[in-house]
Amino acid sequence: MHAEGLSHTIDGRAILRDVGLTAAAGERIAVIGPSGSGKSTLLTLLAGVSVPTQGEVRFRGAPVDESARQGIAYVFQGYGLVSLLTAAENVEIALRAAGRTPVKAREIAAEALETLGLTPYSDHLIEELSGGQQQRTAVALAIARRPALLLADEPTAEQDAAHRDLVLKRLLAEAERGAALVVATHDPEVAGQCDRVLTLQDGALKESVLKEGALQDGALKEGESRDGCPEWDSNPH
């Protein structure tokens, strides 16, 4: 995936300014920044859900269109699930829309839900699930599609420590399989597991590294900023 010259304006406010980003197969990229900095907007542009005011996103060498989006999975911050369907049905319908047979879709959905600890809740309606369970269902739906590009917006925000680690393990497994992974996060544990960390602030994206000692025992130590996000050193050398 390659994005170049992305600028985006909403209601007259510039959210992104000339942003560029390339994600290679198997690469793990974290995008961090203050709340409201445009992380979610950036992911929607990369996914082809929204169209940038300026610039272009290319996936597998071509502009992102309906066909290209078949290879992209996006974990929405708001989950993007159908509340009156069960967890299993949400995953199965997405797989059937991608061309899987009903039997195969059911099999893949069950496996994906199991890897995220959701088997006991697979026949529960989404509206009956907790926020954390809904979030894991959204992750299950994304990984079940075996995408070439996996975008995840705050995928651990509703998880306790144990389930956070489970979600992170599954996302990293997708990168090991060969998917490019781009995750927007405030979680230093998630960012610490990525190959690259990019800071989005004032509409600009720059590459950074977490300061030495900022990640210890899964908690922020030195280098913690006022808003609870890690401070990042933009010159690691």
Q: Give pLDDT tens digits for 7-38.
A: 999 999 999 999 999 999 999 999 999 988 99
Domains of the chain: 2-233 (3.40.50.300)
DSSP state string for 61-114: TEE--TTGGGGEEEE-TT----TTSBHHHHHHHHHHHTT--HHHHHHHHHHHHH
Bridge-based pairing of strands 28-32 and 180-184 is parallel
**pTM of the complete model:** 0.85
Looking up tokens 């991608």, which residue turns up? 98
Picking from 186, 105, 190, 182, the residue whose alpha carbon sits closest to that of residue 140 is 105
For the cut 50, the answer to whether the pLDDT of residue 108 exceeds it is yes
DSSP 160: -
pLDDT, tens digit, 9 for 90 and up, residues 199-236: 999 999 998 755 444 433 333 333 333 333 444 443 33
Q: Between the CA of residue 195 and those of 26, 44, 122, 198, what are the distances in Å?
A: 10, 22, 33, 10
